[in-house]
Structure 1
Amino acid sequence: MRIAVLGGTGDIGEGLVLRWGRDTNHELLVGSRDPAKARDAAESYAETVADRGGDADVKGFENRMAADRAEIVVLAVPPYHVADTVDAVADVLEEDDVVVTPAAGMKRGDDGFHYHPPSAGSVTALVRESVPERVPVVGAFHNLAAGRLADLDAALGVDTLLLADDADAKATVRRLAEEIEGLRALDAGSLDNAAEVESVTPLLVTVAMHNDDLDDLGVRFT
Structure 2
Amino acid sequence: MRIALLGGTGDVGEGLALRWAYHSDHEVVIGSRDPEKARAKAEEYETELSSRGVDRKINGFENGMAADRARVVVLAVPAYHATDTVEEVADSLDEGDILVTPATGMKRDEDGFHYNRPGAGSVTRLVADAAPEGVSAVGAFHNLAAGRLANLDADLGIDTLLVADDDDAKETVRLLAADIDGLRPLDAGGLANAPEIEALTPLLINVAMHNDGLHDLGVRFD
| TM bucket, shorter chain | over 0.9
Query: For residues 1-222 of structure 1, what are the structure 2 equivalents within 5 Å?
Result: 1-222=1-222
Q: Could you tell me whether the CA contact under 8 Å between 1:6 and 1:32 is conserved in 2?
A: yes
Distance 1:96 1:128 in 2: 13
Q: Deviations over 1:108-158 (max 9, x none)?
A: 121211000222111001001101131111100000000000011111000
Q: Which amino acid aligns with 1:43?
A: E
Percent identity at matched positions? 66
Q: Which amino acid aligns with 1:167?
A: D
Question: RMSD of the alignment, in Å?
Answer: 0.7
Q: Deviations over 1:29-84 (max 9, x none)?
A: 10000000000000000110111111223100000000011110000000011111
Distance 2:178 2:2 in 1: 16
Q: Could you tell me whether the CA contact under 8 Å between 1:101 and 1:124 is conserved in 2?
A: yes
**What secondary structure sits across from 1:57 in the alignment?**
coil
Q: Deviations over 1:87-116 (max 9, x none)?
A: 100122111211100000111121211000
**What secondary structure sits across from 1:218 in the alignment?**
coil
Deviation at 1:86, TM superposition (A): 0.6
**What secondary structure sits across from 1:142 in the alignment?**
coil
Q: Number of aligned pairs? A: 222
Q: Could you tell me whether the CA contact under 8 Å between 2:97 and 2:134 is conserved in 1?
A: no
Deviates more, 1:47-56 or 1:201-210: 47-56
Distance 1:175 1:26 in 2: 11
Q: Could you tell me whether the CA contact under 8 Å between 2:15 and 2:149 is conserved in 1?
A: yes
Distance 1:36 1:112 in 2: 35
Distance 1:148 1:53 in 2: 20
Q: Could you tell me whether the CA contact under 8 Å between 1:26 and 1:57 is conserved in 2?
A: no
Q: TM-score, normalised by structure 2?
A: 0.98
**After TM superposition, where is structure 1 displaced by more than 6 Å over at least 4 residues in a row?**
none
Q: Could you tell me whether the CA contact under 8 Å between 1:121 and 1:195 is conserved in 2?
A: yes
Distance 1:55 1:177 in 2: 21
Q: Could you tell me whether the CA contact under 8 Å between 1:30 and 1:66 is conserved in 2?
A: yes
| Unpaired stretches in structure 2, ≥5 consecutive residues | none
Q: Which amino acid aligns with 1:196?
A: E
Q: Could you tell me whether the CA contact under 8 Å between 1:25 and 1:56 is conserved in 2?
A: no
Distance 1:2 1:101 in 2: 17
Q: Which amino acid aligns with 1:184?
A: R
Q: TM-score, normalised by structure 1?
A: 0.98
